[in-house]
Structure 1
Amino acid sequence: MKAAIVVFPGSNRERDAEAALTQAMGKKPLMVWHRDTELPDVDLVLVPGGFSYGDYLRCGAIAAHSPILREVKARADKGMAVIGVCNGFQIITEAGLLPGVLLRNASLKFVCKNVRLKVETSQSLFTSQYEQGQVLSIPVAHHDGNYFADERTLDELEANGQVAFRYCSPDGEFGDEHNPNGSARYIAGIFNRTKNVLGLMPHPENAIEPLQGSTDGIPLFKSMVEALS
């Protein structure tokens, strides 16, 4: 498997993502600058977290128009795997790879803590090493993670099995008290229709070592390696 990480001015999780992919692949991914116009021959592109362009205009709005994103979108349309984490989720949503939008947290405050996620499906290249219904402990760190879409779009996501993760309690129950940002239907991550694109607000790359308090992010990266190698 060959992978690349897109780096923007303001990215701050690209090295965390590099560590996670290196651990899973046994080799380092490529780093691609946002102003590059050509994407290497890779199986996976990861768009990392951070504050691209200082979150001006809207989170991810400027980065979504970077030259390399045009190529990422073109490749994704042909089946290449893409994962966007946190700011990366905002970027690929703004770029049209995923439906909906990420709004300000309902609390209007930055949220940084470990949260619980329920795995909604194991039937994807990103989640095959999880069990459906499994509850994970993964950190979040965002101010604009409130996933929103109109009711018709949300119903389509549900009907097509495009919801990847939802915020939940340690017992896997749903409720507003377990929703860190107010996301519609407790959604923490979604796929595109063909499930080769995943966007999620929590940071699995920061849950790969015991010292981080959780290793629940490891299966996500191993799932991608298994599927794409």
Structure 2
Amino acid sequence: MRIGVVTFPGTLDDVDAARAVRLTGNEPVSLWHGDHDLQGVDAVILPGGFSYGDYLRCGAISRFAPIMTEVVAGAGNGLPVLGICNGFQILVESHLLPGGLLMNDHLKFICRDQTLRIENASTSWTSAYEPGQEIVVPLKNGEGQYVADAETIARLEGEGRVVARYVGFNPNGSVNDIAGIANARGNVVGLMPHPEHAVEELTGSGTDGAGFFTSLLEQALS
């Protein structure tokens, strides 16, 4: 499958995301923030980094990038979209996902290998996992605390839209240990940890993150 990886000014992990796409059997396609062309891709990844220097709020400027007009429209038509870290922040700023991301509760940047539990294995990006499966992937953020009002949290929990949850240690104070969520349709997923950094043994982080990139292909072939 052809998976687009968007680059914004300040994006850091677009090359890593593209490499993860390639290593897991798909074709990465570079997309530029200033274009109105998704180049006919089958899915889109908004990678991590500090788009536009995280000025105003993380992702607040990126939501107005020309490419996001196409991403939002595509997501509404069922296009799979994955936002990783800063990409998650862009998704909530674009109102493709509810809630928001605040500064970590301990007010410090954190970088560590983090255990996650896959709560929803039926989304476009998690179907390669089993429900309840625990994986370990790197986490690196300063503003990763997921928050939402009580009604929204109840809806996410009740509809099974919490995709992944922190296990053993909540690194940023996210409500209900939430590490990632999905939209109601399951084609849009936002995740604070970085599965693209855990796709091969050489890096020392294992391959637990590969499932986020193989899920699309497995669904297409099923």
Same fold (TM over 0.5): yes
Q: Give the alignment partner of residue 181 of structure 2, picking from 169, 190, 199.
A: 190
Contact 2:128–2:218 under 8 Å retained in 1: no
Going from structure 1 to structure 2, the CA distance change for 1:184 and 1:206 (only over 3 Å counts) comes to same
Contact 2:26–2:217 under 8 Å retained in 1: no
TM-score by length of 2: 0.96
Distance in 2, Cα, partners of 1:66 & 1:147? 23
Give, as a single letter, the amino acid of the residue that structure 2 aligns with 1:34.
Answer: H
In structure 1, the residue corresponding to 2:24 is in which secondary structure?
helix
Give, as a single letter, the amino acid of the residue that structure 1 aligns with 2:215.
Answer: S
Query: What is the aligned partner in structure 2 of residue 164 from structure 1?
Result: 163
Query: What is the aligned partner in structure 2 of residue 80 from structure 1?
Result: 79
Give, as a single letter, the amino acid of the residue that structure 2 aligns with 1:12.
Answer: L
Shift of 1:53: 0.5
Going from structure 1 to structure 2, the CA distance change for 1:91 and 1:228 (only over 3 Å counts) comes to farther
Shift of 1:26: 4.6
Distance in 2, Cα, partners of 1:129 & 1:75? 23
Distance in 2, Cα, partners of 1:225 & 1:141? 27
Distance in 2, Cα, partners of 1:187 & 1:104? 15
Alignment of 1:111-126 (within 5 A): 111-126=110-125
Gapped regions of structure 2 (runs ≥ 5): none
Query: What is the aligned partner in structure 2 of residue 174 from structure 1?
Result: none
Give, as a single letter, the amino acid of the residue that structure 2 aligns with 1:194.
Answer: R
Shift of 1:38: 2.0
Q: Relative to structure 2, which stretch is displaced further, 101-110 or 217-226?
A: 217-226
Distance in 1, Cα, partners of 2:41 & 2:220? 10
Contact 2:3–2:26 under 8 Å retained in 1: no
Q: Give the superposed CA RMSD.
A: 1.0
Q: Which runs of 4+ in 1 moved over 6 A?
A: none
Q: Give the alignment partner of residue 206 of structure 2, picking from 195, 207, 214.
A: 214
Give, as a single letter, the amino acid of the residue that structure 2 aligns with 1:14.
Answer: D
Query: What is the aligned partner in structure 2 of residue 153 from structure 1?
Result: 152
Identity across matched positions, percent:
48
TM-score by length of 1: 0.93
Contact 2:2–2:26 under 8 Å retained in 1: no
Shift of 1:211: 2.7
Distance in 2, Cα, partners of 1:72 & 1:26? 19
Shift of 1:58: 0.3
| Aligned residue pairs, count | 220
Shift of 1:228: 3.8
Distance in 2, Cα, partners of 1:83 & 1:219? 13
Query: What is the aligned partner in structure 2 of residue 23 from structure 1?
Result: 23
CA deviations on 1:70-104 (whole Å, 9 max, x unpaired) are 11000100100000000000011101110000000
Contact 1:121–1:127 under 8 Å retained in 2: yes
Gapped regions of structure 1 (runs ≥ 5): 170-177
Shift of 1:190: 0.3
